[in-house]
Amino acid sequence: MNAPTTLIGQVTNFENQPDLAGNLFPVGVEVDDVSLKVTGQIPEGLRGSFVRNGPNPAFQPTSRYHMFDGDGMLHRVNFNEAGGVDYSNRWIRSRGLVAEAKLGRAVYPGLSDVMNFPDASLVGDAGPVKNPANTHIIRHAGKYLALWEGGLPTEVSESLDTIGEYDFGGALKGSMTAHPRLDPRTGEMFCFAYSVFEPVIRYFVVSASGAIVHSAKIEVAAPVMMHDFIITERHAVFLDSPIVFDVANLGKGPMVQWRPENGTRIGVLPRMGSAEEIRWFEIDPGHVQHFWNGWADGDRIEFSGTRFEHPNFGIDPTAPLDETAGDDDPPYPAKFWVDLAAGTAGWELTDDLGGDFCRINDEFNGVVSQYRYMSSAIAPDRRLGDFDSIVKYDDTDGSRQVWNAGPTGHVGESVFAPNPAGTAEDDGWIINAVFDSATEGTDVCILDAHDIAAGPLARVHLAHRMPFGFHANWFSA
Ligand SMILES: [Fe+2]
Is this prediction's pTM over 0.85? yes
Domain annotation covers residue 47: yes
- The single-letter DSSP state of residue 414 is -
Distance 472 CA to ligand 1 centre (A): 10
- Does the pLDDT at position 261 exceed 80? yes
Distance 294 CA to ligand 1 centre (A): 17
Overall average pLDDT of the 186-212 stretch: 97
Distance 473 CA to ligand 1 centre (A): 12
Q: Confidence band (pLDDT; 50, 70, 90) for 321?
A: low
CA neighbours closer than 13 Å in the CB half-sphere of residue 191:
29
Distance 206 CA to ligand 1 centre (A): 20
Overall average pLDDT of the 197-217 stretch: 97
Q: Which of 477, 334, 476, 332 is nearest to 416 (CA)?
A: 476
Distance 163 CA to ligand 1 centre (A): 23
Contact by Cβ (8 Å): 462, 442: yes
Distance 338 CA to ligand 1 centre (A): 24
Q: Which of 331, 254, 333, 345 is nearest to 302 (CA)?
A: 345
Overall average pLDDT of the 314-336 stretch: 69
Distance 444 CA to ligand 1 centre (A): 20
Distance 101 CA to ligand 1 centre (A): 27
Q: Confidence band (pLDDT; 50, 70, 90) for 161?
A: very high
Would residue 81 be called left, alpha or beta, if left means φ above 0 and alpha means ψ between -120 and 50 degrees? Answer: alpha
Instruction: Domain of residue 143: give its range.
Output: 18-476
- Does the pLDDT at position 322 exceed 90? no
Overall average pLDDT of the 273-290 stretch: 97
**Strand order across the beta sheet in which 279-283 lies:** 230-231, 235-240, 264-270, 279-283
* pLDDT greater at residue 312 or residue 394: 394
Distance 35 CA to ligand 1 centre (A): 31
Distance 153 CA to ligand 1 centre (A): 14
Contact by Cβ (8 Å): 360, 473: no
Scanning 204-286, the segments in alpha helix (DSSP H) are none
Average model confidence (pLDDT) across the chain: 94
Measured CA to CA, the distance from residue 449 to residue 425 in angstroms comes to 9
Distance 244 CA to ligand 1 centre (A): 17
Q: For 170-182, what is each residue's pLDDT tens digit? A: 999 999 999 999 9
Q: What pLDDT score was predicted for residue 324?
A: 47
Q: Confidence band (pLDDT; 50, 70, 90) for 248?
A: confident
Overall average pLDDT of the 331-358 stretch: 97
Q: Confidence band (pLDDT; 50, 70, 90) for 251?
A: low
Q: What pLDDT score was predicted for residue 317?
A: 59
Q: For 46-60, what is each residue's pLDDT tens digit? A: 999 999 999 999 999
- Does the pLDDT at position 150 exceed 50? yes
Distance 312 CA to ligand 1 centre (A): 15
Domain annotation covers residue 2: no
The total number of structural domains that make up the chain: 1
Distance 471 CA to ligand 1 centre (A): 6
Distance 211 CA to ligand 1 centre (A): 24
Domain annotation covers residue 360: yes
Cα–Cα distances in angstroms (integers) from residue 12 to residues 61, 288, 398, in the given order: 10, 35, 47
Domain annotation covers residue 431: yes
Domain annotation covers residue 379: yes
CA neighbours closer than 13 Å in the CB half-sphere of residue 95:
19
Distance 154 CA to ligand 1 centre (A): 16
Q: What pLDDT score was predicted for residue 92?
A: 98
Domain annotation covers residue 8: no
Distance 193 CA to ligand 1 centre (A): 13
Distance 289 CA to ligand 1 centre (A): 7
Distance 386 CA to ligand 1 centre (A): 15
Distance 121 CA to ligand 1 centre (A): 34
Q: What pLDDT score was predicted for residue 381?
A: 86
Q: What pLDDT score was predicted for residue 471?
A: 98
Domain annotation covers residue 92: yes
- Does the pLDDT at position 254 exceed 80? no
- Does the pLDDT at position 319 exceed 70? no
Q: What pLDDT score was predicted for residue 314?
A: 65
Distance 461 CA to ligand 1 centre (A): 26
Domain annotation covers residue 5: no
Overall average pLDDT of the 417-445 stretch: 98
Distance 60 CA to ligand 1 centre (A): 25
Distance 146 CA to ligand 1 centre (A): 12
Q: For 81-92, what is each residue's pLDDT tens digit? A: 999 999 999 999
CATH number of the domain encompassing residue 147: 2.120.10.30
Distance 229 CA to ligand 1 centre (A): 11
